[in-house]
Amino acid sequence: MSEQLKNKNVFITGASSGIGEACAVAFAREGANLLLAARRKERIDGLTRSLKDSYGVATHGLELDVRDRDAVERTVSSLPPAWDHIDILLNNAGLSRGLVKLQAGEIRDWEEMIDTNVKGLLYVTRAILPGMVARNSGHVINMGSIAGHELYPNGNVYCASKYAVTAISQGLRMDLLGTNVRVSSVDPGLVQTEFSEVRFRGDKTRAAEAFRSYCSVLARAAKKGVIKGNNADRRKSRAMLFLAREAKAHHASATASSNCSRKAWRASFSC
């Protein structure tokens, strides 16, 4: 455990599963206090209890839909005094819906992705960032994606939403110049969470197939030497395979933006 994160207040959106939940565990191990938010309150309650019991950290659960601007503003402005300064904001809540050509896309799916991945992230950031700027201290971490750097077939609107996250992170860095508030983004490749199940509306078989396809394309490409790259690229691709094997995304914070993982990424969605 490093002392750096001990007693810091960390706000994580989308903490009820997958990467957000894994990050909550990782921060709790470091002794950070955790504000955990998502729509599924019972999951958040279970997690806050278990992190408190296991790591002795302070926790506070919030039922929050990041698409609801009024609720975001109300929730942030009425936090109990112990939680009214956020040291680290992890903007993780996000989702994909569907994997179809744009001409066949469901408009309600597009709206849900844009409302959550882009507007929701902005609402939460807008509510929390002024406090960080006023204290001249804080760290915003945005959960992007390799899809925010590289398109894949049928990924159209999800990719667009993650490109927006990339732009927001870069723009925010410029806007915060001269302050001590930092901005980072984490851009994972495919991680086996509930993400694909949500994308395919509960179709577990299709979700598992998407993950298998990604892993097998990556492995085949590496074996055949189709993927060429420098040592750093090879290391990143090994990291991707490692993540794939680990499957449960316990430390899903690897950045996957090497050329080789990008190629596998595109190819797997083309299969």
Ligand X SMILES: NC(=O)c1ccc[n+]([C@@H]2O[C@H](COP(=O)([O-])OP(=O)(O)OC[C@H]3O[C@@H](n4cnc5c(N)ncnc54)[C@H](OP(=O)(O)O)[C@@H]3O)[C@@H](O)[C@H]2O)c1
Under the criterion CB under 6 A, does residue 127 sit at the interface with ligand X? no
Under the criterion CB under 6 A, does residue 195 sit at the interface with ligand X? yes
The answer to whether 95 touches 89, Cβ cutoff 8 Å, is no
In the complex, the smallest distance separating the C-beta of residue 94 from ligand X, rounded to whole angstroms, is 2
Helix (H) / strand (E) containing 37: strand 33-38
Q: Which of residues 129-148 bind ligand X (CB under 6 A)?
A: 143, 145
Under the criterion CB under 6 A, does residue 194 sit at the interface with ligand X? yes
By three-state DSSP, how is residue 63 classified? strand
Total residues found in the chain within this entry: 271
Question: Three-state secondary structure along 74-114?
Answer: HHHHCCCHHHCCCCEEEECCCCCCCCCCHHHCCHHHHHHHH
**Pick 191 or 215: Cβ nearer ligand X:** 191
Q: How many helices (H) and strands (E) in the chain?
A: 10, 6
Under the criterion CB under 6 A, does residue 16 sit at the interface with ligand X? yes
Residue 97 CA, chain-centre distance (Å), reads 15
**Pick 50 or 179: Cβ nearer ligand X:** 50
What would the two tokens of residue 97 be? 């819906």
The dihedrals phi and psi of 80, each to the nearest 5 degrees, come to: -60, 155
Q: 55 an active-site residue? A: no
Interface mask (CB under 6 A) for ligand X, residues 43-82, using x and -? ---------------------xxxx---------------
Under the criterion CB under 6 A, does residue 268 sit at the interface with ligand X? no
Among 47, 190, 222, 244, binds ligand X (CB under 6 A): 190
Under the criterion CB under 6 A, does residue 116 sit at the interface with ligand X? yes
In the complex, the smallest distance separating the C-beta of residue 225 from ligand X, rounded to whole angstroms, is 26
**Pick 106 or 230: Cβ nearer ligand X:** 106
By three-state DSSP, how is residue 25 classified? helix
- Contact residues: ligand X, CB under 6 A: 13-20, 38-40, 64-67, 92-95, 116, 120, 143, 145, 188, 190-191, 193-195, 198
